[in-house]
Amino acid sequence: MRTAAETEVRRPSAVRALTALLAVTAAATVVVEVLNWWYAPEQGFGLAVRTGWAMLRSFGFLLLIGHVRRGRTVARPLGLILAVTTVFAVGRLIVPRQGVPSLPGVLGFVLLTALCIAVVWLLYRSPALADHLVRHRPRLVIDRTGISWRETPPSRPEASVWLLTSRVAAFTYSPLMLVPALVASAAILDGRLIAVPAVLFWLGAGIATSYLVLFCTAFLMRGRRWAGTLLIVVTVAVLAVDLPLCWWLLGVDGLVRDGAPLVAAAVLAVYGIRRARATPAA
């Protein structure tokens, strides 16, 4: 017989299933990237940078497990962005510059894609998870009892899931720009000194983008309509900078490998803003 405390902390079966699924997905991400590195015909600097960035997503899935267990509302958009960008990140690595992908890499990609689809399906289609993912993040509270760090409902109307999706997607702009910029730095080591200003500009633009996105999303979460418009402008500017530099310094192969994930994140961010505007406030 369970005690009242044990019953209170017991989470729904859907939460436990999603937690296990996320752990498997995190492990699969590492395994697939190791397999891809092992079978890659060219194990150069560019592949090392892209593989390292792709493997960092395993930590993202572990972070998502914490949000799911705590019932945080941010779990849904974070899971969606992680799933989409992971599929793109792994997909761009299994395809070699020449020839056909190795069979282990293809099988690993198919498995990881199926896992990511299952994660998104559970996050957005499970009623039990919808009822569970309702908690707000903890805040520093000062009241008559003193200073404490606890969960408090926001003073402003709660942001919709589409605005949260736009915010999470926009936060990926900076790393998705910095990764190909680091890959392009190999051109400098190869003696292409003409690429030095472009790579430095690329790195600076990636860092500046993180501050611009932080500014836009801070007001976007407060329901400021102009912030959504500004974020769309930033998104267009990011694509206008990143895609030509990918094509010039990394070629068509780099444009596909590094430009496609950024385009996917940009589409999600803009779509989220438009859906939030079209959805009437509750």
Helices (H), 71-194: 75-94, 103-125, 127-132, 161-171, 173-189
Which pLDDT score, from 0 to 100, does residue 139 have? 60
> pTM, whole model, 2 decimals?
0.73
Of 230, 84, 220, give the one whose Cα is nearest residue 160. Answer: 220
Can you tell me the distance from the alpha carbon of 98 to that of 101, in angstroms, rounded to the nearest whole number? 9
Q: Where are the domains of the chain?
A: 11-153, 156-277
C-alpha closest to that of 15 among 127, 113, 116: 127
Residue 148's pLDDT is 59
Positions of the chain with pLDDT under 70: 1-10, 39-46, 92-93, 95-101, 136-159, 187, 189-191, 279-282
Average pLDDT, the chain: 81
CATH number of 11-153: 1.20.120
If you write DSSP's letter for every residue of 252-275 in order, what string do you get?
HHHIIIIIHHHHHHHHHHHHHHHH
